[in-house]
Chains A and B, each alone.
Chain A
């Protein structure tokens, strides 16, 4: 069975602190994709990153970075020097890599509050 676990329900940090959001996944597939989405108060989920199972390189995009480790089945997301605008619910998701299967399995989300 496939599963995504985001054990942190809610995190509060003070502006400029670094924060890491954890994501642990379960799958028996050798080919799969992992995603992170941001849901600001407006409600629309915004795509942040996609990583396939064969690419374990860490990714950095501005203040955002992602650490993918197959050995621990984790795909963690770090925000450096957090800002109030980073306050949102963040979702990690898993999708099979096989063509014809389009369903995502989402984690329950982590609510991040960045305090000024």
Chain B
């Protein structure tokens, strides 16, 4: 069964902390994505990557960075967490032209 695995289901972090959200896929997909999901706003794209070490900004990249050192792993980094980054974070992967496969999500609370 193909999978996208997000390392944490729930996280609580303090304001100002550096936060790492990890995502691993086992489908050899080229493309990986980070979205955040907020009530009434749907899913908004933060960053995506279409190859190792390649990244592109999505619609709301401010306050975030990403790392893709290996094909299977795509990390989202909150350099200095703030309360407005409290959200559900969803990772997805896809092959070119294919549909997304999503992870189970990480619900991050910044206090």
In the complex, the answer to whether A50 meets B99 with C-beta atoms within 8 Å is yes
Number of interface residues of A (CB under 8 A): 21
State which of B16-24, B39-47, B64-72 sits at the interface with chain A: B39-47
Q: Which B residues lie at the A interface, using CB under 8 A?
A: 9, 31, 33, 35, 40-45, 48, 50, 58, 88, 90, 92, 94, 96-97, 99-105, 107
Query: Is A103 interfacial (CB 8 A cutoff)?
Result: yes
- Docked CA distance A107–B102 (Å): 16
The A interface, classified by DSSP as helix, strand, loop or mixed, is: loop
Q: List 14 A-B contacts (CB under 8 A).
A: A35-B99, A43-B9, A44-B102, A44-B104, A46-B102, A47-B99, A47-B101, A102-B33, A103-B33, A104-B43, A106-B44, A107-B42, A108-B41, A108-B42
Tally inter-chain residue pairs, CB-CB below 8 A: 52
Q: Chain A 61-105, CB within 8 Å of chain B: the 1/0 string?
A: 000000000000000000000000000000100000001101110
